Amino acid sequence: MSLKREDLLKIYRMMLLSRTTEERMVEYHKHTPLTELPHSGIGQEAVAIGTVYDLRKEDLILPSLRTRGAFLAKGISSRTMMSGAFAKVTGAARGKNTSHHMGDIRAGVIAGTGVVAGHLPVGLGIALAAKLQKKDYIAVVYFGDGASNRGDVHESMNMAAVMKLGIVFVCENNGYAISTPASFHSSVPDLAIRAQGYGMPGVIVDGNDVLAVYEAAQTAYDRAREGEGPTFIECKTYRWRGHSERDPRDLRSADEIEAWKTKCPIKRLKDYLLQDKLADEKTLNEIQCEVTAEVDDAIAFAESSPYPPAEEALLHVYAEGGIKDE
């Protein structure tokens, strides 16, 4: 494994930052509803961080609504992200979009869409552009198990494989699409086997093991950059909270949720670091303190930031110059 101690500590920090940011958004929303309705990815942090760590600046990611850590790991600041949740002008979309589907092209994050899987063909277009430009930047698209049944996913997989495009399909299989179990919406338990039908590798990974996710991602990225085509990575994971904060008491059993909590991806990395004596409790506590301070600062910044002025209502909505009457 090419990851050094410093890398592992950075990965640990990013996972904690993602977790803490989301926990605080959820907590804040309970008392003062945010403009954003949190759809948290708490419990799924290893997928986002394991796949984004070591991506290049010029690579483009297209996150799903769960891939919160990906925004942070790709370089969007906590302040920008939190401001997005508050719909403040300091957010990435200057208050026009919450951090739910946020993007920031400067960090290589393409804004999402409310149409589940609608971003897959966009990722495909990015990978096609890279090929036409003879460049080796890649696109990484994230989508859930429910989304994996949409036509956009299948059409994108087919075209990507036929044209050997530099795109990686990361399926975050958390077992549910809102309240529908994966066994109800898909005829196969392992979604990765569908990759075979398109002639690309389909890899199944423990999505709560950040190091396994990282390894699978690196193999897929090498392949994508070398012009060998796409890979489908299915990360088996679980979301701890309801689909959104609107349904905190979803239909899943408490036992099931508790069982998955014992497989916490952050605790797993922490245990590894401690057991292999790569870090001690003191170092890890210091990281937690740093992260808490960063999130406190982000909240204070977002609270004190202004909403966008009314004059900006049409800014960045239409192309400069408007639509010409012919």
Residues that bind Mg ion (CB under 5 A): 144-145, 174, 176-177
Q: How many chain residues bind ligand TPP (CB under 6 A)? A: 15
Residue placing its CB nearer to ligand TPP in the complex, 243 or 268: 243
Nearer to ligand TPP, 115 or 162 (CB): 115
Q: Which of residues 54-113 bind ligand TPP (CB under 6 A)?
A: 64, 66
CB of 143 to Mg ion, least distance (A): 9
Query: Please, what is the angle between helix 281-304 and helix 265-275, to 10°?
Result: 140
DSSP letter at 305 equals S
Q: In what order do the strands lie in the sheet with 139-144?
A: 60-62, 139-144, 167-173, 231-236, 202-206
From 59, 145, 245, 294, residue interacting with ligand TPP (rule: CB under 6 A) = 145
Pick from 160, 177, 217, 273: which binds ligand TPP (CB under 6 A)? 177
The stretch near ligand TPP (CB under 6 A) out of 30-38, 128-136, 168-176, 296-304 is 168-176
For ligand TPP, the nearest residue by Cβ is 144
Dihedral through CA 15, CA 21, CA 23, CA 27, nearest 10?
Answer: 180
Min dist. Cβ of residue 246 to ligand TPP (A) = 12
Q: Which of 97, 129, 91, 96 is nearest to 112 (CA)?
A: 97
Residue among 103, 112, 146, 229 that touches ligand TPP (CB under 6 A): 146
Q: Report the nearest approach of ligand TPP to the CB of residue 94 (Å).
A: 24
Instruction: Measure the CA angle with vertex 233, ends 228 and 235; round to 5°.
Output: 165
| Helix spans in the chain (H) | 5-31, 45-52, 68-73, 78-85, 120-132, 151-162, 182-185, 210-225, 254-261, 265-275, 281-304
In the complex, the residues that contact ligand TPP under the rule CB under 6 A are 64, 66, 114-116, 144-147, 172, 174, 176-178, 243
